[in-house]
Amino acid sequence: MSWLVTGGAGYIGAHVVRAFEAKGIDTVVIDDLSSGRRGFVPAGTTFVHGSLLDGRLVQETLARYNVQGVVHLAGFKYAGVSVGRPLHTYQQNVTATATLLAAMESAGVPRLVFSSSAAVYGTPDVDLVTEDTPKHPESPYGESKLVGEWLIADQGIASGLAHTSLRYFNVVGSGTEDVYDVSPHNLFPLVFDALLDGRTPRINGADYPTPDGTCVRDYIHVSDLAAAHVVAAERLMAEARLAPVYNLGSGEGVSVGEIMRTIAEVTGIAFTPEIAPRRAGDPARIVASGDRAARDLDWRMRHSIADMVESAWRARRAADAADPV
């Protein structure tokens, strides 16, 4: 018996696969490699190259490998880009989820852990986001994640599917040197790219009503995130009652300025960030409570901000050394 990890060749998915296998739970990965990397999948892990839009392939995979549950991470994850590609975003994030759910029902797979997003909240007007904070997604990406949650909840009512959805905030760091964040839009890769290219990293706005004037965000280590997925799966296998959604947040938050200072200390590359104008729509602060996940999923922050930066930098440098330009 095994768990299927969709999008398991991605940065987060590859960490989830490793977390499952560290607990002795076999995994199967399905990924179309549109943003994932085949090399991120551990040696010996069953890998299926294909799209969730191929319902027959998904159903065959579930049956062939005796899958008992699914962690669904696959999708189009670029919120900003989704504004210009709404049809693609909905196809990859909504149609694909519906296809997966149909295949699971046909194959008799009864458990699902869904990768949702803080993007479902849009720009909250509260200091601490809880699962009950009103949802106002501001991009097709955020909308598609909320629709995904609705689809899964409706299927749970209709078929008895045991499920939960995990809303991520800013996922950073690395738990292994052979997997790192390759997103062209995330803060850590953007800053690392600038430093390695000899450019000065930039902060968008330093006049917010925060302690140092820069935006405060909620950063969580990818290994902590991956561990929560394993606990969720184990609880579903034990037929424990889980909430439909959980925020995976720190409850505190860190400013972009503090991140920059930590990166300078960790890398040994001294720099003073350039200050650019604010970006339209950027709130001063987005921080989430992880209390519900702490109660049910053993969720806690096991890594400091320095740990997050150090592990991310180490993995990035290892990747550059393995594949020099």
Q: CA angle 228-232-238, nearest 5°?
A: 145
Tokens of 188: 């850590």
Q: Coil, strand or helix: which one is 10?
A: coil
Amino acid in position 146: L
Which is catalytic among the residues 141, 180, 208, 219? 141
- Cα radius of gyration (the chain): 19
Q: Coil, strand or helix: which one is 71?
A: strand
Are 102 and 62 in contact by the 8 Å Cβ rule? The answer is no
Give residue 75's region: left, alpha or beta (phi > 0; psi -120 to 50).
left
DSSP state of 218: -
DSSP state of 184: S
Q: Quick check: is 141 catalytic?
A: yes
Torsion of CA 113, 117, 120, 124, to 10 degrees: 130
Q: Which residues are catalytic?
A: 141
